[in-house]
Amino acid sequence: MTVDAHHHLWDLDVRDQPWIVGPEMDPLRRDFRPTDLQAALKGTSVDATVLVQTVSDPDETPEMLVLADSVDRIAAVVGWVDLTARDVRERIGRLQIHPSGRWLKGIRHQVEGESDPDWLVRPDVLKGLAAVEDAGLVYELLVRSDQLPAAVKAVAQFPQLTFVLDHCAKPPVASGELQPWADRIRALAAHPNVVCKLSGLVTEDDWARQPDPVRLAPYAEVVLEAFGPRRLMFGSDWPVCLLAAEYGQVIDVAKQLTADLDDRQRSAVFDRNAREVYDI
């Protein structure tokens, strides 16, 4: 069994995806609906998935909760609320008492789109993180490398809140550089309440050169060493991954990047860890 801890769905007739910009993103400028997900999963070992928000729109999360109620294999939802809102606790509460609210397991904001590298440690944001903690949810970190120092400070203030780092903080694979990203990853991983998704790497390199485990291996090695197999979990980042690789190729690359793990460790990365984090 395998859990895909990170994928998306969207319907452009319902709402725009403003981050899909430029001709290079054309493969994503279409609908990706549950039937597309089922087609992508066909023939794989994936039996559960985590559906993750894509836009800062309060209407998206309730829609995802309904999908989780009706779509086979979607087992958890990571939604969005405005962490800076004065009534953030009430907003989270309304999602949790939604008829399909039992599927809500986490909250995420596209911090990578914030110009302030210290956004995560703003007082209003910290109050929002406290609300996430009190609601018993996890918080997902979608950050750039330069935002990792602020992430470290935020994580330190909430030792009881589980943080999940998306896409290994988007390392500079295309340039081949490791620093300062690697040291920042190690600093974040020093906090035991942080889990990292082995996801998104194929789209951090030149897409035409992917999928290439050799080019990705140095970055995978850093997160494997820093977090260990007990705090790492596989995510496809489908359909964004299609810019560089098909769904099955992403799984194959992840398996190659973790080939040195024993069977129990690999089971943790591809299955058990996500089930524990998202209570699947």
Is pLDDT at 62 greater than 90 in this prediction?
yes
Angle between the N-to-C axes of helices 213-227 and 247-257, in degrees from 0 to 180, rounded to the nearest 10: 60
Is residue 159 reached through a cis peptide bond, with omega within 30 degrees of 0 on the bond before it? Answer: no
Closest CA relative to residue 219, chosen from 257, 270, 274: 257
At 268, the pLDDT band (50, 70, 90 cuts) reads: very high
Is pLDDT at 17 greater than 90 in this prediction?
yes
The C-alpha atoms of residue 221 and residue 219 are separated, in whole angstroms, by: 5
β strands within the chain, DSSP E: 2-7, 46-52, 74-79, 104-109, 138-141, 163-165, 194-198, 232-234
**Residue 73 pLDDT:** 96
CA atoms within 13 A on the CB side of 172: 11
Structural tokens at position 14: 């319902």
Is pLDDT at 210 greater than 90 in this prediction?
no
CATH code of 250's domain:
3.20.20.140
| Domain enclosing residue 174, as ranges | 2-277
Strands 163-165 and 194-198: parallel
- Tell me the pLDDT of the chain averaged across its residues: 97
At 100, the pLDDT band (50, 70, 90 cuts) reads: very high
Inter-CA distances, 255 with 77, 90, 217, Å: 25, 41, 11
Is pLDDT at 78 greater than 90 in this prediction?
yes
> In this structure, are residues 167 and 199 in contact, taking their beta carbons and an 8 Å threshold?
yes
Q: How many domains does the chain have?
A: 1
The C-alpha atoms of residue 97 and residue 104 are separated, in whole angstroms, by: 10
The C-alpha atoms of residue 235 and residue 61 are separated, in whole angstroms, by: 20
Express each pLDDT in 28-56 by its tens digit. Answer: 999 999 999 999 999 999 999 999 999 99
Per-residue pLDDT, averaged over 3-19, amounts to: 97
**Residue 154 pLDDT:** 98
**Residue 121 pLDDT:** 98
**Residue 209 pLDDT:** 86
Give the N- to C-terminal CA distance of the chain in Å, as an integer: 13
SS (H, E, C) 161-202: CCEEEHHHHCCCHHHCCCCCHHHHHHHHHCCCCEEEEECCHH
Express each pLDDT in 136-175 by its tens digit. Answer: 999 999 999 999 999 999 999 999 999 999 999 999 999 9
pTM (whole model) above 0.85: yes
The C-alpha atoms of residue 194 and residue 227 are separated, in whole angstroms, by: 8
